Chain A
Amino acid sequence: MQLTVWTYEGPPHVGAMRIATAMEGLHYVLHAPQGDTYADLLFTMIERRGKRPPVTYTTFQARDLGKDTAELFQTAAREAYARYQPQAMIVGASCTAELIQDDPAGLTDAMRLPIPVIPLELPSYQRKENWGAAETFYQIVRKLADKDAHPAPRENRRPRANLLGPTALGFRHRDDIIEITRLLDSMGIDVHLTAPLSASPADIVRIGEADFNILLYPEIGDTAVRWLEKTFGQKTVRTVPIGYGATKDFIREVAAIADVDAALALDDSRLPWWSRSVDSTYLTAKRVFIFGDATHAIAAARVARDELGFTVVGLGCYNREFARDLRDAAKLYGVEPLITDDYLEVEDAIAALQPELVLGTQMERHIAKRLRIPCAVISAPVHVQDFPARYSPQMGFEGANVLFDTWVHPLVMGLEEHLLTMFRDDFEFSDSAGASHLGHGRVALATPSPFVPSEVEGPIPGAAESPSTTLGTNGGLNGVWSAEAEKELLKIPFFVRGKARRNTERFATEQGLAAITLETLYDAKAHYAR
């Protein structure tokens, strides 16, 4: 058993729902107890869809247990078919139904519905949401793709590509497709099929007619793409075009596979100039911590270091399926890879590293808020505000513009904060007035050292006047702060204060100092000066 409060991923059947909801003309009959319909609201609320997800739940209850549940499943499947008349159906079990061992595959087989029915085996106690989505998409493609399909001769036509991987509830999938479709169009390439998002089963049948595949989201599309390579010999573009450099690489890779001129792609990115302009100088070597799904985290690390001039101090992902890719990337930046789905480990890592910017998921946003570190969201899971009304892709040249603005924005806010801190003694800018971007009426922080989640214990007898003993995350005694030093620490802007405290404590420990005085603080500053 694993004790959790927050999970980065839902169960695998939620992944299957993401595929079903993405597609048109497909219906999912899910053997599940009453209550599992909660997942509907992820789509209707977070993604703000105006249609119910095409999912029929059997919603069995305790009184149905026994052989009744099998009949319940068949009734649900029959009625779903009659009402929605889908082109194809996927059937499967949620975690509880997996335990009662009805066999959705056999049960629907026996019903002889006049449409393809695709049974799903999603092991709920081993796998998670992304795996469920990948497996579902793979099974649909495998079952429906017409194996005799092949691309028409190339004479007098533009090359055609499949865009694979976008789903419902995908982080910025909607706009990424628009951006990449436009980019391909400027290169003279047509999109044959975008799937699963907005594809129908009839579209999937013709998947083999494309000249090649573009894998936008490996977490969702990798399994299917491997099968397509094997079955149809379609080549795959594997560069994920997130960031300016990656988009350039993507264009080159596409151009080579499609045999078109890469120069045709219109480079309309403002990122290179924005980043070179002097206003961006202060971004240099900002220490950034990156966490998310492997694809977005790896892409973000490249943008952070090569395109914004940050220093990557931490890199991690929550999906173990792509742990190897992430480990390889972490080597490039000389950092320890962090592969975990336990947010407490991520929180510890961030607290220990004291980065100046966190790029992560909704969860890291909250961790960063607590630690008062600027943060931007780069990956699912995300909340409703990250399914915006405005156009905001992550991919392609416009995506690079969006990334620049999104990541720099919290830092600019940090600079604003710095100015406020400089004027802290001004009556209008007292510490208790709070951060300008955190809204009014925020309660002033109670402890003088709110930026390190360390446990402040009572005074040690015989120590300097009103000192506090601070335990670092390593549990060791890092030093005793004198009141004077503690007060001086407060003069340091909040977004580097935690780092200053940590550095000073480390310095004091290394020097074997029993107390941290004003001198120690500045000695440490000199020691760590860069």
Chain B
Amino acid sequence: MTPALPAAVPASTDCVPVLRQRGQREVFCGLTGIIWLHRKIQDAFFLVVGSRTCAHLLQSAAGVMVFAEPRFGTAIIEERDLAGMADCNEELDRVVDRLLTRRPDIRMLFLVGSCPSEVIKLDLSRAAQRLSGKHSPNVRILNYSGSGIETTFTEGEDACLASLVPELPAEPANAAPALMIVGALPDVVEDQFLRIFAQLGIAPVHCLPARKSADLPPVGPNTRYLLAQPFLGETARSLEDRGAQRLDAMFPFGAEGTTSWLHAAAQAFGIDEMHFRSVIAPGRERAKRAIEHCREQLAGKSIFFMPDSQLEVPLARFLSQELGMVPIEVGTPYLHRRHLAQDLALLPSTTVISEGQDVDRQLDRVRAAQPDITVCGLGLANPLEAEGLTTKWAIELVFSPIHGFDQAGDLAELFARPLRRRDVLRV
């Protein structure tokens, strides 16, 4: 029952060769982040300033959620806005006024930039300032860009959280060290982590984003933060600008990843090793037991990741290190080497890391490799299945609780299920 401690950080991983290609990218834009962010920040509203395409994307991605009075919407730019017949800023003010009258429960409003609003250079940061003046103190109005020209899928969360960082209250200079968990996690996962940190004796622990906009965590030179998600480059930079220090770790997937992640905090807060081991042992053992029955199915199977969320590298690490899978190619829309250093170091040397995409060429590589399982978006999944390749659609990995010890079994199961289905079907 003595868990192994994570391997030491390799000195440098800059030597990992990366395949970079440019061409058609089959990915979501950052607006999609709204779908899970609005569930997390319970009194925030996300107003996209964009085109009918943006509204259509949100509707397609949100599925049935659109109907439950969701806290997001689109201000659709029309011909008269473009022709200068209507002043875009006045129009935006009118829409925001109407929205806030309709939804008096809203405390934070994000004006979310899109490709059209970026291209016509509508200054949403000025608009946010102007509207904040008008609606404060009831509503805080911020802005960030979720446009496809600037952000890919989960980078929308990064942009959103980065826009929150300047709003965080300053921690007093003489404050005791505090821990911040950065990245939107499902409430159940967040609660698990908070319980473990409490057991370890680490306090105070804050989350970014918080569930209520009034509960913004304080930040300062005594803040130590752990990234719960690998796609938070901008947010990390903004936190560091305010003096916070990142704790380097693997991302908390599976038994090993979660141990490494918790251990980074334990070390930073001077927690006794024996105490650390005894606190995490039950969870770690449960995680190992939970993934055991999938191992038989997954060990030795090859896997190919198309780029989608930046979760690809840590997930490939989990599948390879803890389940014995063989990653052929791990595609990511953007590779943050520093944040991913520990996960990257554990990938087999035969794995191709690719950043960016030329989708037709990448599909040629998939067909040539004939992987046992291909992780890809919904636009590619059924077509690949029709070609006889087993797939796992990637978006589910962003929407499902997969972090931490107690989700390790579910995470493994997400990859095992398509293979099991392939084997049980007799049609």
Q: Check A40–B26 contact: CB distance below 8 A.
A: yes
Report the separation of the CA atoms of residues A11 and B77 in the bound assembly, to the nearest whole angstrom. Answer: 12
Among the listed B49, B59, B82, B379, which residue makes an inter-chain contact with A7, where contact means beta carbons less than 8 Å apart? B59
A3/B75 in contact, CB under 8 A: yes
Q: B351 at the A/B interface (Cβ < 8 Å)?
A: no
Q: Which residues of A contact B86 (CB under 8 A)?
A: 1
B215 within 8 A of A: no
1/0 contact string of B92-129 vs chain A (CB within 8 Å): 10110011000000000000000110111000000000
Which chain A residues border B383 with CB–CB below 8 Å? 44, 49-52
Given A10-B56, A96-B119, A33:B29 Cβ within 8 A: yes
B150 interfacial by beta-carbon distance below 8 Å: yes
Cβ–Cβ < 8 Å partners of B72 in chain A: 5
CB-CB under 8 A for A34 and B27, given A3-B75, A125-B78, A366-B67: yes
Q: How far is the CA of A513 from the CA of B116 in the complex (A)?
A: 55
Residue contact B119 to A3, C-beta cutoff 8 Å: no
Q: Is the CB of A38 within 8 A of B79?
A: no
Q: Mark B73-92, 1 if CB is under 8 A from A, else 0.
A: 11111110110001010011
A14 and B64 alpha carbons, distance in the complex (Å):
20
- Chain B residues 51 to 74 lying within 8 A of chain A, measured CB to CB, are 51-53, 55-57, 59-61, 63-64, 66-67, 70, 72-74
Chain A residues with Cβ below 8 Å from B377 are 41
Residues A126 and B79 in contact, CB atoms below 8 Å apart: yes
- Residue ID in chain B nearest A2 by CB atoms: B76
Task: State the CA gap A5–B119 with chains docked (Å).
Answer: 23
* Chain A binding surface, main DSSP class: mixed
- Among A1, A57, A76, A370, find the residue whose CB has the most chain B CB atoms closer than 10 A: A1
Q: Does A160 interact with chain B (Cβ within 8 Å)? A: no
**Which residues of chain B are near A285, meaning CB under 8 Å?**
none
Q: Which B208-223 residues have a C-beta within 8 angstroms of A?
A: none
Interface size on A, residues (CB 8 A): 55
**Does B299 count as interface, using CB distance less than 8 angstroms?**
no
> Do residues B24 and A4 form an inter-chain contact, with CB atoms below 8 A?
no
Contact call B53/A2, Cβ cutoff below 8 A? no
Whether A51 contacts B51 by the Cβ 8 Å rule is no
A382→B296 CA distance, assembly (Å): 41
B51→A95 contact, CB < 8 A: yes
Contact with A along B230-274 (1 / 0, CB 8 A): 000000000000000000000000000000000000000000000
Tell me if A230 counts as interface (CB < 8 A to partner B): no
Pairwise interchain contact B56-A7, C-beta atoms closer than 8 A: yes
Q: Mark A122-155, 1 if CB is under 8 A from B, else 0.
A: 0111101000000000000000000000000000
Distance, CA A58 to CA B115, complexed state (A): 14
In chain A between 2 and 38, which residues have their CB closer than 8 angstroms to a CB of chain B?
2-7, 9-11, 13-14, 33-38
- Specify which of B30, B49, B56 lies most central, judged by the most chain A CB atoms within 10 Å of its CB: B56
| A157 surroundings in chain B (CB, below 8 A) | none
- Verify A6–B78 contact, CB threshold 8 A: no
Output the least CB separation between A7 and chain B (Å): 5
| B30 to chain A: closest residue by CB | A35
Within 8 A of A (CB), among B284-319: none
Any B CB within 8 A of the CB of A67 = no
Q: Are A52 and B51 in contact (CB under 8 A)?
A: no
Q: B99 contacts which chain A residues (CB < 8 A)?
A: 3
Q: Are B61 and A59 in contact (CB under 8 A)?
A: no
Residues of A within 8 A of B276 (CB): none
Is A213 at the interface (CB under 8 A from chain B)?
no
B56 engages A11 (CB within 8 Å): yes
Identify the closest chain B residue to A76 (Cβ): B24
In the complex formed, the residue of A with least CB distance to B82 is: A125
A96 vs B61: C-alpha distance in the bound complex, in angstroms?
A: 20
Residue contact A3 to B98, C-beta cutoff 8 Å: yes
Q: A33-B148, A37-B27 are in contact. Are A124 and B60 (CB under 8 A)?
A: no
Interface residues of B in 4-45 (CB under 8 A from A): 23-32
CB of B60 within 8 A of CB of A38, answer yes
Least CB distance, A471 to chain B, in whole angstroms? 16
A341 to B378 Cα, complex, angstroms: 28
| Given known A34-B149, A95-B51, contact A5–B73 (CB-CB < 8 A) | yes
Interface check B187, CB cutoff 8 A: no
Q: Are B382 and A49 within 8 A (Cβ)?
A: yes
Within the complex, the shortest CB–CB distance from B23 to chain A, in Å, comes to 8
What's the least CB distance linking B219 to chain A, in Å? 28
Chain B residues, CB < 8 A from A1: 49, 75-78, 81, 86, 88, 91-92, 94-95
Answer whether residue A110 sits at the interface, using C-beta atoms and an 8 A cutoff: no
Contact B29 A95 (CB under 8 A): no
Whether A44 contacts B379 by the Cβ 8 Å rule is yes
Which residue in chain A gives the minimum CB-CB distance to B386? A50
B73 touches A4 (CB 8 A): yes
The distance from the CB of A420 to the nearest CB of chain B, in whole angstroms, is 25
Q: Which residues of B contact A100 (CB under 8 A)?
A: 119
Chain A residue nearest to B146 (CB atoms) is: A35
- A446 on interface, CB distance cutoff 8 Å: no
Residues of chain A contacted by B28 (CB below 8 angstroms) = 35, 38
Q: State which of A37, A123, A366 has its C-beta within 8 Å of the C-beta of B379.
A: A37
A4 to B51 CA separation, bound complex (whole angstroms): 10
5 contacts between A and B (CB under 8 A): A5-B59, A5-B72, A34-B27, A39-B60, A50-B385
Given A39-B60, A40-B380, A126-B78, 17 more A-B residue pairs with CB atoms under 8 Å apart are A1-B95, A2-B78, A4-B73, A6-B59, A34-B149, A35-B57, A35-B115, A38-B57, A40-B26, A41-B377, A44-B380, A57-B24, A59-B148, A96-B115, A124-B51, A126-B79, A366-B67
Residues of A bordering B, CB below 8 Å = 1-7, 9-11, 13-14, 33-42, 44-45, 48-52, 56-62, 64-65, 76, 79, 83, 94-96, 99-100, 123-126, 128, 363, 366, 370, 383
Q: Return the 7 tightest CB-CB contacts between A and B, nearest first.
A: A35-B29, A35-B148, A50-B386, A40-B379, A96-B115, A95-B51, A41-B378
